[in-house]
């Protein structure tokens, strides 16, 4: 766009509004201290306006929002954030796993759930912030609704320290040493970064990456 046209346009536009324009550079957007002080004043005024009646709104919300009353035997969903499943896109994974039955109630709002055999190596106790009630779908009311499959990390039941898949790849600063994040068949073994020379059948495994 022509600079002269832009200058004339902005000048005439602000003259019609009775304002004065003060353009700044992209890396120094604070040329006018008076404008910055006005923005600070407006920010404080807006904050005070929206804070009006906040205590009453908070009271009404707390009164109408009931905390789930869990008891032994209830089915719940558990957050999958700590299940160490690095495969695939994070945004497309299931946020919760389950359903699992509550086995015991502990103090400090924590619950012990009965995990499946595939997740037996995970800690069974979770705080209330990581679980939510499970609501089953009524097959008669919604006959065409698909049931969401239970989230279970894909593992095998045999083998110790045997690599089943390569999850990620990275290079060190030297760019000569290549490492891979591997997953073992044994569910008690955590994922581990190994050098290329320490992985048997490296070529075959990395082709699956």
Which of 122, 69, 65 shows the shortest CA–CA distance to 98?
A: 122
Domain encompassing residue 56: 31-65
- For the chain, the domain total comes to 3
Domain presence at residue 122: yes
The pLDDT of residue 84: 60
The pLDDT of residue 54: 77
Rounded Cα distance between 182 and 86, Å, is 10
Residues 78, 142 within the same domain: yes
The pLDDT of residue 158: 45
Q: What is the DSSP code string of 25-47?
A: BTTB----HHHHHHHHHHHHHHH
The pLDDT of residue 156: 42
Instruction: Point out the domain boundary residue: 43, 65, 87.
Output: 65
Domain presence at residue 9: no
Give me 105's structure tokens: 């109630």
Residue range 147-193, pLDDT digits in tens: 655 555 444 444 446 777 788 887 776 666 778 888 877 776 778 88
Q: Tell me which residues of the chain have a pLDDT lower than 70.
A: 1-6, 21-32, 66-67, 82-90, 108, 145-161, 173-176, 188, 200-209
Domain presence at residue 110: yes
Preceding amide of 27 cis, omega within 30: no
């Amino acid at each position: 766009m022509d600079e002269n046209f832009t200058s004339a346009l902005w000048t005439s536009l602000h003259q019609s509004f009775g304002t004065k324009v003060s353009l700044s550079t992209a890396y120094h957007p604070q040329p006018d201290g008076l404008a910055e002080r006005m923005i600070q004043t407006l920010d404080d005024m807006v904050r005070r306006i929206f804070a009006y009646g906040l205590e009453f709104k908070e009271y009404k919300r707390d009164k109408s929002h009931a905390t789930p009353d869990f008891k032994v035997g209830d089915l719940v969903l558990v957050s999958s954030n700590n299940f160490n499943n690095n495969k695939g896109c994070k945004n497309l994974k299931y946020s919760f796993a389950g359903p699992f039955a509550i086995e015991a109630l502990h103090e400090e709002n924590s619950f012990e759930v009965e995990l499946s055999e595939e997740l037996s190596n995970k800690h069974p106790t979770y705080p209330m912030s990581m679980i939510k009630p499970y609501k089953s779908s009524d097959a008669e009311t919604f006959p065409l609704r698909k049931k969401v499959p239970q989230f279970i990390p894909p593992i095998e039941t045999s083998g110790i320290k045997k690599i089943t898949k390569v999850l990620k790849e990275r290079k060190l600063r030297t760019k000569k040493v290549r490492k891979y994040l591997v997953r073992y068949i044994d569910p008690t073994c955590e994922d581990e970064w190994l050098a290329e020379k320490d992985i048997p059948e490296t070529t075959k495994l990395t082709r699956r990456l």
